[in-house]
Structure 1
Amino acid sequence: MTPPRAVEARAAWLLLATFLVAVAGLIYELIAATLSSYLLGDSVRQFSLVIGIFLSAMGVGAWLSRFVSDAFSGFVWAQILLGIVGGFLAPVLFLNYAWMGQVALPLYGALIAIGILSGMEIPLIARVLEQIGALKFRFENVLSVDYIGALVASLAFPLLVIPYLGLMSASLAFGGLNLAVAGLSLLVFREWATRVQVAVWAVAFVATLGALWQSERLVSVAEAELFEDDVILSEATSYQQITVTRYRDRVRLFLDHSIQFDSLDEHRYHEPLVHPAMALAPRARDILILGGGDGMAAREVLRYPEVQSVTLVDLDPRVTQLFRDHPDLSKLNDNALSDPRVTVVNEDAWRFLERETQIYDVVIIDLPDPKSIALSRLYTKQFYGLLAERLSGQGVFVTQAGSPFFARQAFWSVAETIESSRNPQRPGRGLQAVPYRSYVPSFGEWGFVLATFEPLTDRRIELPDGLSYLDDDVWRAAQIFDGDTDRVDAEPNTLQSHALMGYYLDGWDYWFR
């Protein structure tokens, strides 16, 4: 008979194991959701699918646990398999996507396997506790420890796991955690362990540690396949995956694997984004840039000598830090983020506008495309109404609005949203919108919408010297839309409808999926 102290020690280990496997299980779920949103897009849809599939699979696993005759052996095998499947989740998905362009099938297959194995853990641990005679055992204690582990994982994932490990290393590290739980369980219950379990565990543990040791090389291999050019910087932050590539003098920025600019043609985007608004504003002393953490828009704004202050608001501090301090990146924006007139604020654009009281002459919105609800809200009537309160009486704002060719209805939804947004200068009427476009080889046909309180009587613009692309003739032509890009019916985007996100996803899916 097992001594009472030994029973208590084993029971304590099983409760600790419950906490550890709960942390690992939720980390796998978050890695899967993050990877699917990176590689498949539409974070809301992907997170919903991942959570639904994972929880359903856990239910199946809990049901299947009743057919496991040896609870301890079942628990150990579940940990070994979780260490293998969960640990190699990110490496397999990244490499499979890079080599074969396929991610959905292996992602959801691995997610179902991880969910089933995770669902078996609690029932099996409860049976082992009963088997060893843990008289003080209560099932709700196991569940409480499991929920605490999930809370710790959900907090650690954005604050510690992604910033310090990245997806590849995190997957392997928590696979190692499952295998460590299996190994320690085999040690604590050594009389129940089998040679086969120990041998398989040892091979899996060594393989996982080896892969973790080589995780940077695995990242390099995957990125070499994913990106055409040499990867000179790759970082995961709490907000996104930042990747910078270079070929000779050509530099590209990718956020969450989506291209943001190519130094070869970025002037065809940033000049149309900035200069019409700056030139049409009667006064351009105080400027606000929302997004634009790469400093390119700020570079264009600083061409105007009358500019006294530029406030740049970008959510991710690492992006603005890189484009201020990295020598290869800061020269792309002519060191704009180090200019004493520029103040960088790392904050959500909506929160900034809510707390800000300063009035701006020109606002330039250079935010990512509205492919999620978090981004779509920054293209709503409510957001533009809030923004209008921060504009001077004759102020001008402009937003990038996506492609009028690939996502035609989405582009015109932005225009419709601006035209139906609250106009504090003309109560009961909307803002005045001027849609226009530019061809950017890296993106295709790209669109912008400029907004004012009053209709523009004269749209001629005087531009500073030194521009590579934009002139008055280009500006006039930019306001003409052809049969493939001309206005179509579209609903305005609101916090309730998020019609824009649907238009955007449908448009790009039509052309590229």
Structure 2
Amino acid sequence: MTPSRGPQLREVWLLGATFLVAVAGLIYELIAATLSSYLLGDSVRQFSLVIGVFLAAMGLGAWLSRFVTHALPGFVWAQILLGILGGFLAPVLYFSYMLAGVVGLPLYAMLICIGVLSGMEIPLIARVLKEIGAPEFRFENVLSVDYVGALVASVAFPLLILPHLGLMSASLAFGCLNLLVAGLSLWIFRDRMGGRVWAVWGVALVLSLAALVQAERLVSVVEANLFEDDVILSETTPYQQITLTRFRDRTRLFLDYSIQFDTLDEYRYHESLVHPAMALAPRRSQVLILGGGDGMAAREVLRHADVQAVTLVDLDARVTELFAGHADLVALNGNALNDPRLMVVSQDAWAFVGESRAVYDVVIVDLPDPKSIALSKLYSLEFYGMLADRISAQGLIAVQAGSPMFARQAYWSVVQTLAATRNPQVPGQGLAVVPYHAYVPSFGDWGFVLASPRPLAPRPLQLPPGLRYMTDAIWREAQVFAPDVADMAADLNRIQSHALVGYYNEGWDYWFR
């Protein structure tokens, strides 16, 4: 290395290192936020807390950096510690949840440490650049590179990193990236570094690489302990974690570790959701299903011979791909997703309903529970107002509305929000609603709501053959609520307030936390 090229190489490397550590730091933040939302629920709350704590810790780290006497060794040690803490962030959280059911304490303890170390990086790099006499050094150049790295990480995380690596491998891979930055810094500045740090770096790198190689096995160990049955499929998409388990002939689907169906009793849920609306609708040639990417609701809709076209809208294309192409899963939904009468649209339900001009005889709303603001908007007065414009004059909407037992106020908030939804056929009035519920062993007492522009006249259900649960007698019983789950006061769910999220989480926390 010639004297003239040495300082230039070091300056370029430090700016490159700034970019790399910015990418890694934001990836750790996103991993922490995503994992906490998976394991603790309420994604908006978890993302807000993680971002706030991480930024505060970075500010503390920036302040503490003034007490680091030697900037270059301080930066290298920070990278080694980040490689260890950031790299093992996801493994520690998964195993803590698996072994003790604890997430919050290790999450925020590690997050604060990672944030402090990340906050030290830029001030230390700036000091090193000054120490090596970087020509025309400007602090804003370092910040610009840092911000570009954050942008790259924020774009790459949902589009590339999460779908292709998953959380466990991503955490370990970016831990190795921090260690790579430390190793290259050691080599480029080898004339200024001692031997002890080389030894610590080498041990940390070997352990991190070994864990990265075994990442899939670590995931398998975690899932084997988190789920009662054998995991036959585990996949992370840009939208959620998909897990399928099996024991003998029993298959269960979990999204973000929350059960969606169990083949032992899913027929109770899907028959209750679909058939009252289909049987009571004067016409059912055009049907819209929102959610239901597993095809189970579509299977029940297609039992009705006069159905001419079904549009199924699900955000995550991977779910519908699996349930349309995997032989075992196709058998569960009766090949409904490959029926020529059905069209799959991979789009957000809000966007689809807002953009569509089609009119449907029946709309089946089979969306995930409103545990976050992102989902709560699909249970809002505004969304139901758009949906009311998509049904015919005598059309019906059927909504899965959660448990009137475990989240009683949340359930009745959905009912009352639908009842208050503007009626496009009778201006000045709301929709007519029929609340009902069914017992589904996997979920408990589960609630549904029918809504229509005009009150439904009581009449027997004309049901298709082959049903295992729903009968006319069951339908009549389903409309009766015991005193402990009966109607109660609740605020309407609006996108400005999202009262439903609070009701939902308070109810489930009361029963299960």
For the criterion TM > 0.5, the same-fold answer is yes
State the match for 2:317 in structure 1.
317
Give the 5 Å matches for 1:281-320.
281-320=281-320
The CA distance in 1 between the partners of 2:257 and 2:132, in whole Å, is: 50
Give the 5 Å matches for 1:172-183.
172-183=172-183
Structure 2 letter corresponding to 1:292: G
The reply to whether residue 198 of structure 1 matches residue 198 of structure 2 is yes
State the match for 1:210 in structure 2.
210
Q: Return the offset for 1:5.
A: 2.4
The CA distance in 2 between the partners of 1:329 and 1:96, in whole Å, is: 32
**C-alpha RMSD of matched pairs (Å):** 0.9
The reply to whether residue 98 of structure 1 matches residue 93 of structure 2 is no
State the match for 1:390 in structure 2.
390
Structure 2 letter corresponding to 1:69: T
The CA distance in 2 between the partners of 1:214 and 1:239, in whole Å, is: 25
The CA distance in 2 between the partners of 1:397 and 1:420, in whole Å, is: 14
State the match for 2:230 in structure 1.
230
User: Does the residue aligned with 1:364 lie in a helix, a strand or coil?
Assistant: strand
The CA distance in 2 between the partners of 1:136 and 1:446, in whole Å, is: 67
State the match for 1:460 in structure 2.
460
State the match for 2:86 in structure 1.
86
Deviations 1:376-411 (A, max 9, x none): 000011111101111011000110000000000000
The CA distance in 2 between the partners of 1:229 and 1:265, in whole Å, is: 16
The CA distance in 2 between the partners of 1:495 and 1:44, in whole Å, is: 14
The CA distance in 2 between the partners of 1:22 and 1:333, in whole Å, is: 46
State the match for 1:503 in structure 2.
503
The CA distance in 2 between the partners of 1:461 and 1:193, in whole Å, is: 81
Query: Which deviates more, 93-102 or 235-244?
Result: 93-102
State the match for 1:375 in structure 2.
375
State the match for 1:60 in structure 2.
60
Return 5+ residue gaps in structure 1 as ranges.
none
State the match for 1:418 in structure 2.
418
User: Does the residue aligned with 1:396 lie in a helix, a strand or coil?
Assistant: strand
State the match for 1:77 in structure 2.
77
Q: Return the offset for 1:3.
A: 2.9
Q: Return the offset for 1:484.
A: 1.2
The reply to whether residue 344 of structure 1 matches residue 344 of structure 2 is yes
Structure 1 runs of 4+ with >2 Å offset: 1-5
Query: Which deviates more, 253-262 or 5-14?
Result: 5-14
The CA distance in 2 between the partners of 1:222 and 1:245, in whole Å, is: 13
User: Does the residue aligned with 1:434 lie in a helix, a strand or coil?
Assistant: strand
The CA distance in 2 between the partners of 1:46 and 1:460, in whole Å, is: 47
The CA distance in 1 between the partners of 2:193 and 2:226, in whole Å, is: 43
The CA distance in 1 between the partners of 2:2 and 2:140, in whole Å, is: 24
Deviations 1:127-151 (A, max 9, x none): 1001111122110000000000000
State the match for 2:273 in structure 1.
273
Structure 2 letter corresponding to 1:310: V
Q: Return the offset for 1:358.
A: 1.3
The reply to whether residue 437 of structure 1 matches residue 437 of structure 2 is yes
Deviations 1:397-454 (A, max 9, x none): 1100000000000000000000100100000000011000000110110000000111
The CA distance in 2 between the partners of 1:460 and 1:408, in whole Å, is: 28
Q: Return the offset for 1:245.
A: 0.2
Q: Return the offset for 1:2.
A: 8.6
Query: Which deviates more, 492-501 or 360-369?
Result: 492-501
Q: Return the offset for 1:187.
A: 0.5
Structure 2 letter corresponding to 1:427: P
Q: Return the offset for 1:459.
A: 4.0
Deviations 1:314-345 (A, max 9, x none): 00000000000011111100010010001000
Q: Return the offset for 1:292.
A: 0.1
Give the 5 Å matches for 1:87-166.
87-166=87-166
The CA distance in 1 between the partners of 2:201 and 2:32, in whole Å, is: 24
Q: Return the offset for 1:481.
A: 0.2
The CA distance in 2 between the partners of 1:250 and 1:224, in whole Å, is: 16
The reply to whether residue 43 of structure 1 matches residue 43 of structure 2 is yes
Change (3 A) 1:2 1:121: farther
The CA distance in 2 between the partners of 1:359 and 1:135, in whole Å, is: 67
State the match for 1:469 in structure 2.
469
Deviations 1:467-497 (A, max 9, x none): 0011011100000000111000001111111
The CA distance in 2 between the partners of 1:85 and 1:118, in whole Å, is: 11
User: Does the residue aligned with 1:484 lie in a helix, a strand or coil?
Assistant: helix
Structure 2 letter corresponding to 1:28: Y
Return 5+ residue gaps in structure 2 as ranges.
none
Structure 2 letter corresponding to 1:55: L
State the match for 2:409 in structure 1.
409
The CA distance in 2 between the partners of 1:301 and 1:72, in whole Å, is: 66
The CA distance in 1 between the partners of 2:266 and 2:11, in whole Å, is: 61
The CA distance in 1 between the partners of 2:450 and 2:193, in whole Å, is: 70
The reply to whether residue 34 of structure 1 matches residue 13 of structure 2 is no
Structure 2 letter corresponding to 1:375: L
The CA distance in 1 between the partners of 2:340 and 2:76, in whole Å, is: 60
Number of matched pairs: 513
User: Does the residue aligned with 1:399 lie in a helix, a strand or coil?
Assistant: strand
Change (3 A) 1:2 1:113: farther
Q: Return the offset for 1:262.
A: 0.3
State the match for 1:185 in structure 2.
185
User: Does the residue aligned with 1:377 lie in a helix, a strand or coil?
Assistant: helix
Q: Return the offset for 1:460.
A: 2.3
User: Does the residue aligned with 2:192 lie in a helix, a strand or coil?
Assistant: coil
Structure 1 letter corresponding to 2:242: I
Change (3 A) 1:382 1:388: same
The CA distance in 1 between the partners of 2:174 and 2:20, in whole Å, is: 9
The reply to whether residue 5 of structure 1 matches residue 13 of structure 2 is no
State the match for 1:246 in structure 2.
246
The CA distance in 1 between the partners of 2:433 and 2:194, in whole Å, is: 73
User: Does the residue aligned with 2:260 lie in a helix, a strand or coil?
Assistant: strand
User: Does the residue aligned with 1:491 lie in a helix, a strand or coil?
Assistant: coil
The CA distance in 2 between the partners of 1:459 and 1:314, in whole Å, is: 33
Query: Which deviates more, 246-255 or 187-196?
Result: 187-196
State the match for 1:24 in structure 2.
24
Change (3 A) 1:497 1:52: same
Deviations 1:180-199 (A, max 9, x none): 00000000001112111101
State the match for 2:335 in structure 1.
335
- Structure-2-length-normalised TM-score: 0.99
User: Does the residue aligned with 1:30 lie in a helix, a strand or coil?
Assistant: helix
Query: Which deviates more, 10-19 or 134-143?
Result: 134-143
State the match for 1:360 in structure 2.
360
Structure 1 letter corresponding to 2:299: R
